[in-house]
Amino acid sequence: MIAISMLGLLFASCEKQDQKTAFDENTLPERLKFESFNLSNYPDRESVTILKVEWDEWGRAKKDCEGWGLCNATWTWFPTEEKSAQVTSPAYSTIVQFDSQQGKYYIDILLSEMVPADISIDLYPLAIDESFTPYTAAVLGTDLTFNAGEYPYDSSLGTHGGFRIYFN
């Protein structure tokens, strides 16, 4: 009887270990689908200033910009002086918005599909290991900083949830 109980505990332990190794958080960016900002949806883009944040890959600074996190981004603003400004975006993009209640700029990184059932997204906040400050002063009069920290999943953002990053 004791041997059967021990065997059951061993099996349950192995099963839990298999579940842990079956999911690798480094594959999270490949498993989630994200919305990307499309400038063509803004017909009045010549009359308003739109500051767009773009990045081509996910990653964490402590993992050489690989894995699940954000370690670099660039800015593009519209209208620009260049007539050839791209309307299409790289792999990932969103626009900078202003929260008047908090008095801060922010971006929302929104999911375009539901989180797969085997991912407990609440356990995987979007990480920024090192603060970085792309140049935004020409458009906003101040530079915005992506602050190091963990940004939790928020199911109330967009249709399928996402991550909100406030700037300082």
- How do residues 3-58 score in pLDDT, each as one tens digit? 444 434 444 444 444 444 355 778 888 899 998 877 777 666 565 667 888 888 88
Q: Please, are residues 61 and 70 in contact by the beta-carbon 8 Å criterion? A: no
Question: How many domains does the chain fold into?
Answer: 1
> What's the pLDDT band for 143 if we cut at 50, 70, 90?
confident
Q: Helix, strand or coil for residue 28?
A: helix
The answer to the question of residue 18 being in a domain is: no
**Closest of 102, 118, 94, 117 to residue 36, by C-alpha:** 94
Which two three-digit tokens encode residue 36? 């990307």
- Give the pLDDT band of residue 78 (cuts 50, 70, 90): low
In a domain, 100, yes or no: yes
- Residue 154 · residue 164 · CB < 8 Å: yes
What number is the average pLDDT over the span 148-158? 96
Phi, psi of 104 (to 5 degrees): -135, 150
Phi, psi of 52 (to 5 degrees): -110, 135
pLDDT score, position 11: 42
CA distances (Å), 101 to each of 60, 104, 141, 149, in order?
30, 8, 20, 22
pLDDT in tens, 89-106: 457 888 888 899 999 999
Q: How far is Cα 165 from Cα 94, in angstroms, rounded to an integer?
A: 11
Query: What is the DSSP code (8-state) at residue 24?
Result: -
Element (H, E) at 16: helix 2-22
Task: Please check whether residue 55 lies inside any domain of the structure.
Answer: yes
30 occurs within a structural domain: yes
Q: Could you tell me if residue 17 is inside a domain? A: no
Residue 19 lies in a domain: no
* Residue percentage of the chain with pLDDT more than 90: 34
Length of the chain: 168
More confident residue, 22 or 145: 145
Question: What is residue 63's three-state secondary structure?
Answer: helix
- Joined together, the tokens standing for residue 58 give 């996910």
* 71 phi, psi to nearest 5 deg: -125, -5
Residue 11 lies in a domain: no
> Does the residue 7 lie in any domain?
no
Could you give the CA distance from residue 22 to residue 36 in angstroms, rounded to a whole number? 29
Model confidence, pTM: 0.76
Per the structure, the complete domain to which residue 32 belongs is given by: 24-166
